[in-house]
Structure 1
Amino acid sequence: MAPNNDNDDDTSLEKYNVDWTGHYRGSSSIVVRPKSTEEVSRILSYCHKRRIGVVPQGGNTGLVGGSVGIGGEVILSLEKMNNIECYGKKDGSVIRADAGCILEELQNYAAKNGNLVPVDLGAKGSCQIGGNVSTNAGGVYYYRYGSLHANVLGLEVVTPTGDVLNLGYDPVSHLKDNTGYHLKHLFIGGEGTLGVVTKVSLRCPPLPVSRGAMWVTCASLSDVVRVLTLARTDHLNEILAAFEFMDRDVLELVRAAYPSIRFPLDIGNVTPATTINNDTIIDPYSILIETHGSDNNHDREKLESFFECIMEEGLVVDGVMAQNLGQIEDFWKIRELCNPATAAMGYVYKYDISLAAIDFDSFIHDMKVRLIDASHDQQKAASSDKNLICGNWGHIIDGNLHCNIVSPNSFERDSELLKIIDEGIFEEVMKRNGSISAEHGLGQYKNEYMTRIKTPSTLRAMYDIKRVFDPHGIMNPGKYLPEPSAESSPE
């Protein structure tokens, strides 16, 4: 199998067997690092014939255990496949790259040609484009530029049998093609369960001529939603690129973890208090809004007019507009520190859900009630920690909430507490007709919930698709789909 790619050094294997959370650990003794599609094909063909499980792995930045083994599967790392082959069209609007290319390196390459990569994540310095595609990663500019389903023009994939499929990977000469089934969409978000993405052809829009941003503070989530509505319908509309919200709890964690960080506003100056079961919860919210356009003067006028409007209507308590690109980056630095800040303060129970924006307020309130009850009831919660912190942020413009529950000063996962939180999250999301996975995927963590959110007939169709591409079930076993029940098993 790909000479010189296998490795049995326990020290070097460690990073491939542990995911970003540190919780999911595999026991793989073999890692293969192919350098070409042909090598991937030989590896998968070899494993298929011998029914050896294979786990495709990109930057290993996932949060649901999708990129590490469950048993002793072979880890197929794409890290050696990192070439950018060409810019197809003369205007640089199409980028073609190996699946192992780091997202940030692709962004830098595109920027040199006057373009941007339409996905942007906090993990961009480590995650790989193949992993982004396989998890259908969203990111902060999802609203403006769309999903990877919309921006991936084509893929090259290798099936478990070793067959190489060109799924519109060469769209340089033509962008429109209505011949046959568009199979690429099965591999976007398929989490490596149908095959290995080896090359990606991606649409890259032009870099915006003008960028603007503001940071404002609201006293309630209902005010945040009203600001969002005005931004995307009446005022910013065609130039609105991102609309991020952060609550006070997570910003306090950022300030505690990074005491030298400078905030645009004093996040302690808004203190509306809510009392639940004699516990006081203080919930101001901060919003980061970014615009992308083609005329600096026009876009600045629109942003200033919008700022005046929301101030006059009393929807924001305070705010500041960025005066230059450096200040815009400073705003984003705070937003990007939310994730590492929670991890620095204790064990984090991480949730990535999708809801209507108007449901964020009631969801967060009800989850905090559940957490207070869990902390106060020693018979329900194995942990004696009564100070669980529920820090929330996300892309409210597309309904994506990152709910992070931190157990301060404890870096060990509490299984009993996890069950309570998991069930609470699931119930609160389902009664609002939301999704338990907005962009992080299912992996080995959330796959069992599929039996509760998909009908048996839908699951049967998914098992049938899996069986067509992966008849021996070697690709990323134990992930994405639950173990089939009698009701949902294929005929």
Structure 2
Amino acid sequence: MTRPNLDAFLTQCQQITGPAGVLSAEADMASYLRDWTGQYQGSAIAVLRPRSTDEVAQLVRLCVEAGIAVVPQGGRTGLAGGGVPLDGRSVVLSLERMNAIRTVDTDARTMTLEAGVILETAQNAALEQGLVFPLTFGAKGSCTIGGALATNAGGSNVVRYGTTRELCVGIEAVMPDGSVISALHGLRKDNTGYDLRHLLIGAEGTLGIITAAVFKLAPAPKVRVAGFLALEDLAHAPSLLNRMQDRTGGAVEAFEYMPKPMIAAIQRAFPDVRAPLDTLPETGIFFEVASSRDADAAEAEGGGSRLEEDVLGLLEALMEEGALPDAMIAQTEQQRLDLWHLRESALEGVMHNGPAYFTDISLPLNKIAPFVAEMDQAVAEMGFATLTVGHLGDGNLHYTLSAAEGQDWESLPLAKAKALIFDRLQAAGGSFSAEHGIGQSKLDLMRQLKTPAQLEAMRAVKRALDPENLMNPAKLIPMDQS
């Protein structure tokens, strides 16, 4: 694009958004051209910051006319490079100024949010109404609703409430031609053709730009019980999860795998973080159960809640069986928050530890323990140490390779280790991307591990809706045939 044409384009954008809605100076754009990890950086013609769905639609139409690609962007907390432009031939379209909570319907228990709303803001607004916005993960203070939808984010409460996809009951989006799809009715049942909502969720902005959505809310718990368990063996975890679900009536909200090396890495990064048990367990589980039932919140004979009594009864039985060498139950709200802080510090702990290779995989629950045991031994023989953490309740592991003590990361056989991980993952019927999305980082895995038929079906959808390939190009789907 020539300079006169570029200037004319930017002037037209400013006429739509106002001067504050267009950033083109290098210094002003810098923070929008890299992600949180710092691993992915790019360049762009400009950063566009619309304030409404109509402005998004106008900007998209303008970009289509000029043949300029659009990279939608949320809170820039992604880990796969999906919201970072690749080159200087696109614009970043940031939804950060579209941050209104449009409605909270306490009867339907739904909330309608614009894409730029920060997750923690949505959580707090729901709490003010005596409800909870169930989605939660470590980046809640800076990630946005639009980004969560674009990647179908998961987090720690998926075991009870499901992923972002399962919480969303209505969507508004601008399509690649600038038309607007608005379906913010919040209907739980609507079988009237293809469900465009589910097509757009998890599409990482490659099929359109989500501008608002309706989410299900849940009743606020009246009682919570959180704790940390030292298991005899990871293989016991699925049985423990099921028994805890049975004992509490399906009240498990978090069931997180935190083994000894992971806790040690967190403590190295944050020396003030206390370990939950005096002796770090080889197999640690952080759990939380919660209930909105008055009966569960009522005081039991021992002075705690009945829900706590139920949990303690289960833990005592497990100890008698020899499956649970040690356990702690949070006795105060601060102890509970400390456990959550420990879990949510895992990513920072890994990054502080040094160079690492992250995975975001999922496996059937009965395949997790064999996978971890086999892989830990195999990669240790190659010179790697593992820093694994996972949402064990839904089978999602962040299996991370780092250099073992005394080993040089650059000299380790990373390609061999990766090949073994994904070979074993395929054999176990797992997935190479559970909740972080594909973005730029997993395009090679898409080529290698998705079948040709699956890839071609996705390419056909992309071509039909975005024939000019202007919506977040070179992300999510490898468009080449290699």
When normalised by structure 2's length, the TM-score is 0.89
Residue in structure 2 matching 1:86, options 81, 98, 103: 103
Q: What residue is the counterpart of 1:339 in the other structure?
A: 347
Tell whether 2:297 aligns with 1:296. yes
Q: What residue is the counterpart of 1:77 in the other structure?
A: 94
CA distance in 2, matches of 1:285, 1:17: 39
Tell whether 2:196 aligns with 1:188. no
The CA deviation at 1:414 is: 5.0
Corresponding residue SS for 1:199: strand
Tell whether 2:142 aligns with 1:122. no
The CA deviation at 1:304 is: 1.6
- The 8 Å contact of residues 315 and 324 in structure 2, kept in 1 or not, is answered as no
The CA deviation at 1:418 is: 4.5
Corresponding residue SS for 2:32: helix
Tell whether 2:371 aligns with 1:371. no
The CA deviation at 1:155 is: 0.6
The CA deviation at 1:407 is: 4.1
Corresponding residue SS for 1:197: strand
1:403 partner amino acid? Y
1:478 partner amino acid? A
Q: What residue is the counterpart of 1:279 in the other structure?
A: none
Q: What residue is the counterpart of 1:252 in the other structure?
A: 264
Tell whether 2:38 aligns with 1:22. yes
CA distance in 1, matches of 2:413, 2:333: 43
Q: Which moved more, 1:459-468 or 1:329-338?
A: 459-468
Structure 2 gap segments, 5+ residues each: 1-12, 299-305
- The 8 Å contact of residues 358 and 399 in structure 2, kept in 1 or not, is answered as yes
- The 8 Å contact of residues 226 and 315 in structure 1, kept in 2 or not, is answered as no
CA distance in 2, matches of 1:359, 1:223: 12
- The 8 Å contact of residues 138 and 439 in structure 1, kept in 2 or not, is answered as yes
CA 1:262 to 1:165, structure 2 compared with 1: closer, same or farther past 3 Å?
A: same
CA 1:267 to 1:81, structure 2 compared with 1: closer, same or farther past 3 Å?
A: farther
Corresponding residue SS for 1:252: helix
CA distance in 2, matches of 1:50, 1:481: 24
CA 1:109 to 1:413, structure 2 compared with 1: closer, same or farther past 3 Å?
A: farther
CA distance in 2, matches of 1:237, 1:420: 44
Q: What residue is the counterpart of 1:280 in the other structure?
A: none
Identity %: 37
Q: Which moved more, 1:214-223 or 1:418-427?
A: 418-427
The CA deviation at 1:389 is: 2.8
CA distance in 2, matches of 1:102, 1:310: 40
- The 8 Å contact of residues 102 and 114 in structure 2, kept in 1 or not, is answered as yes
Tell whether 2:286 aligns with 1:285. no
- The 8 Å contact of residues 96 and 202 in structure 1, kept in 2 or not, is answered as yes
Number of aligned residue pairs: 454
1:347 partner amino acid? P
Q: Which moved more, 1:140-149 or 1:32-41?
A: 140-149
The CA deviation at 1:409 is: 10
Q: What residue is the counterpart of 2:421 in the other structure?
A: 425
CA distance in 2, matches of 1:369, 1:53: 46
CA distance in 1, matches of 2:75, 2:404: 28
CA distance in 1, matches of 2:100, 2:375: 45
CA 1:345 to 1:291, structure 2 compared with 1: closer, same or farther past 3 Å?
A: same
Residues 156-210 of structure 1: CA deviation (Å, up to 9, x unaligned) = 00011110101x2122xx5432223211000111111001000011111111111
Corresponding residue SS for 2:131: coil
CA 1:357 to 1:90, structure 2 compared with 1: closer, same or farther past 3 Å?
A: closer
* 1:38-117 aligned within 5 A: 38-72=54-88, 73-87=90-104, 89-91=105-107, 93-117=109-133
Q: What residue is the counterpart of 2:190 in the other structure?
A: 177
Tell whether 2:318 aligns with 1:310. yes
Corresponding residue SS for 1:238: coil
2:442 partner amino acid? K
2:286 partner amino acid? L
CA 1:230 to 1:175, structure 2 compared with 1: closer, same or farther past 3 Å?
A: closer
Residues 102-138 of structure 1: CA deviation (Å, up to 9, x unaligned) = 0011101111111111211111011001100110011
Corresponding residue SS for 2:230: strand
CA distance in 2, matches of 1:148, 1:482: 24
Q: What residue is the counterpart of 1:223 in the other structure?
A: 236
Residues 49-83 of structure 1: CA deviation (Å, up to 9, x unaligned) = 22211111101111111110111221111111101
CA 1:409 to 1:163, structure 2 compared with 1: closer, same or farther past 3 Å?
A: farther
CA distance in 2, matches of 1:358, 1:100: 38
CA distance in 1, matches of 2:25, 2:142: 23
The CA deviation at 1:484 is: 3.1
The CA deviation at 1:416 is: 7.8
Q: What residue is the counterpart of 2:468 in the other structure?
A: 472
CA 1:42 to 1:231, structure 2 compared with 1: closer, same or farther past 3 Å?
A: same
The CA deviation at 1:415 is: 10
1:292 partner amino acid? A
Structure 1 gap segments, 5+ residues each: 271-283, 376-387, 487-491
The CA deviation at 1:372 is: 3.1
Alignment RMSD (CA, Å): 2.1
Residues 286-339 of structure 1: CA deviation (Å, up to 9, x unaligned) = 111111111214322211211111111111111111223322211111111111
1:169 partner amino acid? L
CA distance in 2, matches of 1:10, 1:347: 29
CA distance in 2, matches of 1:47, 1:413: 43
The CA deviation at 1:425 is: 2.4
